[in-house]
Amino acid sequence: MTKQTNWGGNYTYRAARWHHPHTVEEVQDVVRRSAQVRVLGTRHSFNGIADTPEDLISLKHLNRVLALDEGQQTVTVEGGVRYGELCRYLDERGWALHNLASLPHLSVAGACATGTHGSGNRSPGLAAAVTAMSLVTAGGHVTTVSREQEGASFEGMVVGLGALGVVTSLTLKVEPSYLMRQDVYEHLPLTQLIQRFDQITGSAESVSLFTDWREPHVQQVWLKRRVSPQDTFKPDAEWFGATLAQRHLHPIHHLSAAPCNQQLGIPGPWFDRLPHFRAAHTPSSGQEVQSEYVLPRTHAPAALYALSALGKRLAPVLLISEVRTISADELWLSPCYHQDSVSVHFTWHPDERAVRALLPEIERELAPFGPRPHWGKVFTLPPARLEHLYPRLPDFRRLVTTWDPGGKFRNDFLNAYVFGNSCK
């Protein structure tokens, strides 16, 4: 079999055998027969988190929506469903999710397993919607766990890094469908952002700030607001010193906005406004690398100020940076565990060596603010540092050891960052 890479093209999977089961029974069979096994979602992570030297399972054929329970306001999906598919199904029936990531092509299971998030001062990460999951465990049995039954340990299982078993279905909280509009401002002075961070990020349900750190302003601010069908909102032409954009924009200024969802305040369904990119636009390979750090929101002004001093150092490798906010949650390995957060994301040119050479400088600048790295992206923080940043890692290790005592679902990534010697 030819070598398979992740979406970004920076990671080549090492798995000896690939499996594409069509049923849960086939998943159970693979897990029973395998000594080392991992599950792959839609390959949007940028590191080896999903990999294994032996058996890699893709759930791309297990991609049905199983049940919508309108009374309980939940939907249950199979482990291979992508957000794009789920959103359309929900909206057609008058339902919605609380938030989405920048891209609708991600699998629900993979996104939740790594603590993926959108933006919003009052909006937690995507995994906060999970109320129950079915897993094929190391012994090949199917077990269903829920917040109701498991209590506190459920909070340890949802952002599970694929370490507890194969998630074959998830139940998510839904809410009535809603419309949104997206307005973009250009050239927000950094001084304004630093002085009025909470006010600016609280100006809409979801706020994204795009910058390359080269100028003393943020190039674009994307404001996503919920609106009624009779929306009469008129955005100010000037806002905190920024100017309302009069045409559709791509976050990377010189690129065509064709792949982006509609802006200019045009109302549309929630799932066509929350992600930056259209579901119908199918990016094959990104040819990029990403990194992201999540810190307590109270540190946002100081952290942004510190990063702005690095602008010239970042420039040769950086495509664009995005700053978002996320509200606190209870999920042990969520980067937003017990803290209202700000995330600083970097989309890099596809030169991982140069990126890895630069990351320690960024991590040094952010060190005073406790930067929790995104599990699915590239970082160079040592495992011992993660032990301090993720206070529930010891509890998670115990949970994983109970569920998978033989270490069938472990891989190099988990051995380093969850079970590393330096962590003990």
Ligand X SMILES: Cc1cc2nc3c(=O)[nH]c(=O)nc-3n(C[C@H](O)[C@H](O)[C@H](O)COP(=O)(O)OP(=O)(O)OC[C@H]3O[C@@H](n4cnc5c(N)ncnc54)[C@H](O)[C@@H]3O)c2cc1C
Residue 95 or 413 having the CB closest to ligand X: 413
Q: How near is the Cβ of 257 to ligand X at its closest, in Å?
A: 16
- Is position 140 an interface residue for ligand X (rule: CB under 6 A)? no
- Is position 308 an interface residue for ligand X (rule: CB under 6 A)? no
Binding residue for ligand X (CB under 6 A) from 28, 37, 77, 117?
117
Euclidean distance between CA atoms 39 and 52, whole angstroms = 9
User: Which pairing describes strands 55-58 and 17-19: parallel, antiparallel, or unpaired?
Assistant: parallel
Residue 49 parent element (H or E):
none
- Is position 327 an interface residue for ligand X (rule: CB under 6 A)? no
- Is position 41 an interface residue for ligand X (rule: CB under 6 A)? yes
Q: How near is the Cβ of 24 to ligand X at its closest, in Å?
A: 11
- Is position 111 an interface residue for ligand X (rule: CB under 6 A)? yes
Q: Is 410 helix (H, G, I), strand (E, B) or coil?
A: coil
DSSP state letter for 204: S
Please give the residues from 42 up to 61 whose contact with ligand X meets the rule CB under 6 A. 42-45, 49-50, 59
Q: Which stretch binds ligand X (CB under 6 A): 10-18, 40-48, 138-146, 361-369?
A: 40-48
User: Which pairing describes strands 242-244 and 217-227: parallel, antiparallel, or unpaired?
Assistant: unpaired
The mark string for 346-385 relative to ligand X (x by CB under 6 A, - otherwise) is ----------------------------x-x---------
Residue 103 or 249 having the CB closest to ligand X: 103
Euclidean distance between CA atoms 126 and 99, whole angstroms = 7
- Is position 104 an interface residue for ligand X (rule: CB under 6 A)? no
Q: How near is the Cβ of 212 to ligand X at its closest, in Å?
A: 18
DSSP string, 255-314: S-STTBPP-TT--EEGGGTSSSB-SSS--S----EEEEEEEEGGGHHHHHHHHHTTHHHH
Judged by CB under 6 A, how many residues of this single chain contact ligand X?
A: 34
Binding residue for ligand X (CB under 6 A) from 27, 96, 103, 227?
103
- Is position 260 an interface residue for ligand X (rule: CB under 6 A)? no
Q: Which stretch binds ligand X (CB under 6 A): 158-166, 173-181, 231-239, 298-306?
A: 158-166
Nearest CA-CA partner of 41 in 116, 96, 141: 116
Euclidean distance between CA atoms 293 and 96, whole angstroms = 28
Euclidean distance between CA atoms 197 and 375, whole angstroms = 26
Euclidean distance between CA atoms 374 and 309, whole angstroms = 23
Euclidean distance between CA atoms 78 and 62, whole angstroms = 6
The mark string for 166-205 relative to ligand X (x by CB under 6 A, - otherwise) is xx--------------------------------------
Other C-beta atoms within 10 Å of 349: how many? 14
The amino acid occupying position 61 is H
Q: How near is the Cβ of 295 to ligand X at its closest, in Å?
A: 14
Residue 213 or 417 having the CB closest to ligand X: 417
Residue 21 or 110 having the CB closest to ligand X: 110
223 within 8 A of 183, measured Cβ to Cβ:
yes
Q: How near is the Cβ of 168 to ligand X at its closest, in Å?
A: 7
Structural tokens at position 224: 């996503």
Q: End-to-end CA distance of the chain: give it in Å, rounded.
A: 38
Site residues for ligand X per CB under 6 A: 7-8, 38-45, 49-50, 59, 79, 101-103, 106-107, 109-111, 113-114, 116-117, 161-162, 166-167, 286, 290, 374, 376
